[in-house]
Amino acid sequence: MSANSTAGKSDGDDPSIPPNSAESLGSRIRDLDVDSIRRYLAQKLGFYEPSEPSTSVEKVLDEVNLDGIVKWMKSARCQNVITLSGAGISTSAGIPDFRSPETGLYHNLQKYNLPEPQAIFEINFFRQNPKPFFTLAKELFPGSFKPTISHYFIRLLHEKGLLLRHYTQNIDTLERGAGIPGEKLVEAHGTFYTSHCIECRKEYPLDFIKGIIFADQIPICTECPGVVKPDIVFFGESLPERFQHCLQEDFQKCDMLIIMGSSLEVQPFASLIDMVPEWCPRLLINREKAGIRSPLLRLWGMSGGLQLDEDSIRDVARLGECDDGCQELADRLGWGDELRELVAREHELLTQKGSLLNPHPPILEHSGQNVTAEKL
Ligand SMILES: [Zn+2]
């Protein structure tokens, strides 16, 4: 079989190839001259032809598996680790998946007659009726949950001087709870940690809204009649400026990317994995494979996505529970006991603080200026 005969199966000038043919085409071309096919398709379909063929990319892992990753991370060349995380690093903390109808959180909100579940995170709906959001916020409020082994593993990366930045999709603030410094964090979907008045933009700390939310009231600005909203990103709002700023600086410096507990389905977060250098090793720690781009798209020179097959030179998946994966990685790096001791010590401290599993903490005292009137 020649390159031309395979390319001919793309039906001449018709670029529409059924999606289900991608895998079979990918396997058929594996032994062929990939570059010549790519050039043919790029010319035929008007695609940009990449100037650097993938064969020129340096392979830095001796073995493309967890052993190879560990050896790389122990080497002097590995200095700037970026971690990306999704909901999977927080599920073992007991944080309910509020998007799932099975948790009952949305069910509890039916009395508010939401037009659709997502309306609770829509800024225009919030302006009309913030009550459903604050009811949900009470259920999810930071301080009711302990950070997980995965969170403390990220802190350990920082303490070892390896963490360039941790990017999280989560809004639960467990990274801060685990002691990861704010300057090492990018909370891409925002955070409960700070809040702003939606009218005059005055900033408020976590403690300001906490007591008000737990008293089933709506936090109102002390300067104007605006509602005070936690800085989590709603539909219809742009991502934090810090996200845009940091990713431009960070990703080209990255020499090890660890993706933890994310299905890599939400953009633009999912595209971050393609912003590291082409040689940079990428480790996925997740229940299942994620972020894989089809062999056909790779053939077209669109090299994005993880490559988790036998041809991979840099991508490794460690499938299973996130905490197990992080503990195993720590064990192999020689930090296993340190991680276990850190988790035990920090959890004990949090328990002593009495901040846990207390669904009705005492209402904070407010000055006379702090209006906490129920709205609507
Ligand atoms: Zn205000």
Per-residue pLDDT in tens (0 to 9) along the chain, 376 residues: 333 333 333 333 333 333 333 343 334 334 344 444 455 445 545 544 444 445 588 999 999 999 999 999 999 999 999 999 998 999 899 886 655 556 556 666 777 778 887 788 899 999 999 998 998 888 778 777 899 999 999 999 999 999 999 999 998 889 999 999 999 999 998 988 899 999 999 999 988 999 999 999 999 999 999 999 999 999 888 888 899 899 889 999 999 999 999 988 887 878 899 999 999 999 999 999 999 876 666 666 666 799 998 889 999 999 999 999 999 999 999 999 999 999 999 999 988 886 544 433 333 333 333 333 332 2
* 326 belongs to an annotated ligand binding site: no
Q: Which H or E run contains 257?
A: strand 256-260
Q: Which residues are catalytic?
A: 189
Please tell me the distance between residue 225's alpha carbon and the centre of ligand 1 in angstroms.
6
Q: Which H or E run contains 159?
A: helix 149-159
Please tell me the distance between residue 201's alpha carbon and the centre of ligand 1 in angstroms.
6
Specify the CATH number for 58-94+148-189+242-355; select among 3.40.50.720, 3.40.190.10, 3.20.20.70, 3.40.50.1220: 3.40.50.1220
% helix, strand, coil for the chain, step of 5:
40, 15, 45
Residue 114: alpha-carbon gap to chain centroid: 27
Specify the CATH number for 96-144+191-232; select among 3.30.1600.10, 3.40.50.280, 3.40.50.300, 3.30.930.10: 3.30.1600.10
Please tell me the distance between residue 220's alpha carbon and the centre of ligand 1 in angstroms.
8
Identical fold between 58-94+148-189+242-355 and 96-144+191-232:
no
What sign has the CA pseudo-torsion 200, 201, 203, 207?
positive
What pTM was computed for the model?
0.76
Distances (CA, A) of 157 to 20, 151, 273: 41, 10, 19
Where exactly are the structural domains of the chain?
Answer: 58-94+148-189+242-355, 96-144+191-232
Q: Is 274 helix (H, G, I), strand (E, B) or coil?
A: helix
Taking alpha carbons only, the member of 20, 376, 324 closest to residue 218 is 376
Name the residues around ion ligand 1, CB cutoff 5 A: 197, 199-200, 202, 221, 223-224, 226
